Structure 1
């Protein structure tokens, strides 16, 4: 946690002091926090509200507003959504309510927050920015980095020389006759009862395919299964180094906060 003390909603730290605000919209919870951009750490604790059901755009916008108001934050806000976001408009809804498709989410959130600037990006892209800035890829300033979030599916972020190439959706690429996330998502291992070694063989096929297409310099792997990385990374047979994500469940919030002022976007 940052060494800046959190003073409560009525005395929130002011924008413009190396601080930013991020909100991470997930399937089960909407989470937000003030972030110290010098360190990538939260200022105080995050605030979480259960994702409303149905998770319509209007309901989520109201929840985001609640979270921002909880902190008394008055500056710009960064936010993630679990879908493709292009020019502020949601273009896919694989894991969210179909009503999101075609919504100008930046305008929606900005209006809900009284007209303040809002930057919205894909959740995996936010995690990639955060990890490259403060986590597993922080020492790599040149080259191609691919972050993969291994969970129900496979989320992805592609960064070249520190610049994000947004909305990659690598989990939907076909690998050896099967969609990548149907072959090697963490959920597949659980559903099939595979050992970590057997699952790592399938993930290796996916990583090798990505290596052939994108020639990355580093893979960063996130998701809950990254906590066990020492038990399965040694079983991988691809060539490019693989390191576990370090920020884990803070990465979405941190990446969203970073996106507010990040000149790389």
Structure 2
């Protein structure tokens, strides 16, 4: 993935610091002709030539681009293009109303992306599409996503909306994790959702349901049937209606077989289209009677297929509406169903609806999925990720650690209780939004949105129901998850190391970094050690501070550590020390780690030669 050439990254794309935002967007669009010629792998030997050509393109225009094209590698699977300004209008604001998020729509044949102003839902820059010519694989999808992100020169939050087919291709259990790992420059602020969720969010944030009070049910109709409930503009979790909609796929398959039609919906009868699109306007919904007595068998067949499909859609909407009792139902057709004219869907649905709630069909403006993905990411992921980082930073500072380090502190129950009490500002035994908004003993103060997002994140570890207050039990469970997911685990006693070495569920090889609070070289090495932990996932990475307490001092003495930083390479079964390295040479350490990964029966010599090849730990 690292060999993929950076798309559209030439200096000519970058706006001058003194130019306006609108001029920057125009300049970005003007030079797309040169950008379209840069879709190739670049070897390290040609990078300097490419940089020179990028500079020449500012002066020579397409001449430099043509010269670049003559040096590029054979055509790849991807073709990247800029979405024209006519397809999606750009924002005419000089400054965004909300936070900027890169919204991405991922399908098996293409990846589309655009920078969205989440306050208004407007495109702030032209969108980019990377098409995948061959059958989609997880690698080709990830590479196309990386191409889109690089072409936008983006390192901020990303919202990825994927189809169910893409979800299966990426891996149902780790689709979100795979996309997060593929975009390390985004620092974990990558949210993944399916298209029905993105479409629903777009309708609520920028469409028909925007600013509508009360309960709003958004039903997405396409290959699947989705139902998402909102209350006063916020998604309501714990309203799972899968038990009412799980038969949708089989019923649609049965209708297709009987009616001999393909796609997600049958053809719309010509008579219905003609009636619904008449120039007569009325505020009252009209019913459309089909001419089932027509002598034309083909016409009658089309009409019957349509009627059966609409009745099935109505039955599902009726079931979920009865269960959730919303005041408004928004129908959002997705995929090919979005091609059905809005007035046709609206008339047939209202004609058969029993008026328990108001119903309307959402418009499908260009870029709806991309807009919804950006809004979803902002609400569901970005706020919670940032709030969690702030909380972890406050905890690290409390224990005199680097607030930016990705380490998992091994805390006792008493220490966790101390943290909980510091966060529980009013001492009622619960942490709620008011506690997190008040600057308490940890020095943490969050906004209302960030506080609610953090509480939602922690409470969801216990179950699907989202709460805005958490108990000590839930806080402890969250901390256990943080520890388990930490790249490097910080231990503070020999007992903890013994437990790690006896754990047969974790990697059987351990790399231990021994440092000290007063060691400057150790502090400088923290990020490099975390990067290695992120790279070599078959190893377990541990950090020990020699001067943390009496227990760590005794442990380091027993391990024969006399200087910092020292790196120990340990086998679990049996528990032995295979290697020891002293000093902060990053290149040397990575070489030693790579050798440790490939180590079989032989044991390499230590970097100082004094350590025996294998030492049993007591």
Task: Tell me the TM-score normalised to structure 1 length.
Answer: 0.76
The match for 2:209 is: 137
The match for 2:314 is: 204
Contact map agreement 1:144 1:159 (CA 8 A) in 2: yes
Matches for 1:1-265 after TM superposition, within 5 Å: 5=22, 6=25, 7-8=27-28, 18-51=99-132, 53-83=134-164, 95-96=165-166, 98-116=168-186, 117-148=189-220, 150-164=221-235, 165=237, 172-174=245-247, 179=251, 187-190=264-267, 193-194=302-303, 196-197=306-307, 199-223=309-333, 224-226=336-338, 228-236=341-349, 237-238=352-353, 239=355, 240-262=357-379, 263=449
Contact map agreement 2:96 2:117 (CA 8 A) in 1: no
For 1:173 and 1:200, the matched residues in 2 are separated by: 18
Q: Which has the higher strand share?
A: 1
For 1:49 and 1:172, the matched residues in 2 are separated by: 34
Shift of 1:47: 1.4
For 2:247 and 2:325, the matched residues in 1 are separated by: 17
Shift of 1:133: 0.7
Residue by residue, what CA displacement relative to the aligned partner does 1:128-162 show, whole Å, maximum 9, x if unpaired? 111101001113132132231x3333344333343
Shift of 1:59: 1.9
For 1:32 and 1:166, the matched residues in 2 are separated by: 30
For 1:180 and 1:168, the matched residues in 2 are separated by: 21
SS in 2 for 1:261: helix
Shift of 1:208: 1.4
Shift of 1:206: 2.0
SS in 1 for 2:136: coil
For 1:155 and 1:199, the matched residues in 2 are separated by: 16
Residue by residue, what CA displacement relative to the aligned partner does 1:76-97 show, whole Å, maximum 9, x if unpaired? 21111224xxxxxxxxxxx347
Rg (Cα) greater in structure: 2
CA 1:98–1:174: 2 relative to 1, 3 Å: closer
CA 1:230–1:14: 2 relative to 1, 3 Å: closer
Single out whichever of 58-67 and 203-212 deviates more from structure 2.
Answer: 203-212
CA 1:107–1:202: 2 relative to 1, 3 Å: closer
Q: Which has the higher helix share?
A: 2
- Greater RCO, CA 8 A, separation 6+: 1
SS in 2 for 1:230: helix
Contact map agreement 2:104 2:373 (CA 8 A) in 1: yes
For 1:25 and 1:245, the matched residues in 2 are separated by: 21
Contact map agreement 2:219 2:332 (CA 8 A) in 1: yes
CA 1:102–1:38: 2 relative to 1, 3 Å: closer
Shift of 1:101: 3.0
RMSD value, Cα = 3.7
Shift of 1:193: 3.2
For 1:67 and 1:120, the matched residues in 2 are separated by: 16
What is the count of residue pairs matched by the alignment?
248
For 2:215 and 2:240, the matched residues in 1 are separated by: 17
For 1:255 and 1:64, the matched residues in 2 are separated by: 17
Shift of 1:107: 2.9
Shift of 1:65: 0.8
Contact map agreement 1:143 1:216 (CA 8 A) in 2: yes
Q: Structure 1, unaligned stretches of length 5 or more? A: 84-94
